[in-house]
Amino acid sequence: MQILILVLNKTQKLDALLLELNDNGIRGGTIIDSMGMVRTLADEHSEIPLFGSLKAILNENRPINKTIFMVLEDEKIPIAMECIRKVVGNINEENTGIMFTLPVNQVEGLTK
């Protein structure tokens, strides 16, 4: 088992992504609101010239990110990642997001 973590900057794609995952047999996960470090520093330290400049560059009305955690069987990981690419597009484009996996050694409470 692995945990697939997606930090989604393009939050307008969230509903379509969840439907695509569901259509491909991937159900269950946790979604939390999150915010990147640069954005947080720019918000908290706007009086410092460097961070004030960063804040001007960043879209101040930009919604927070969505971070999705999914604990999946190994064979489901490539399917989930392909769903993400299909809906979100090239994850390597700037301000799109990041996805990665980590091994899960033990799990309880996971239902089929």
Strands (E), 9-86: 30-34, 65-72
- How many Cα atoms sit within 13 Å of 82 on the Cβ side? 9
Output the pTM of the full model. 0.78
Minimum mean pLDDT range among 13-27, 41-55, 62-76, 77-91: 41-55
User: What architecture is domain 2-35+63-103?
Assistant: 2-Layer Sandwich (3.30)
* Residue at token pair 């239902």: 111
Give the residue from 72, 73, 64 showing the smallest Cα distance to 14: 64
Q: Comparing C-alpha atoms, which of 43, 26, 1 is closest to residue 83?
A: 26
Give the pLDDT band of residue 38 (cuts 50, 70, 90). Answer: low
Question: Helices 77-88 and 14-23 sit at what angle, rounded to 10 degrees?
Answer: 140
The residues spanned by each domain of the chain are: 2-35+63-103
| pLDDT number for residue 17 | 97
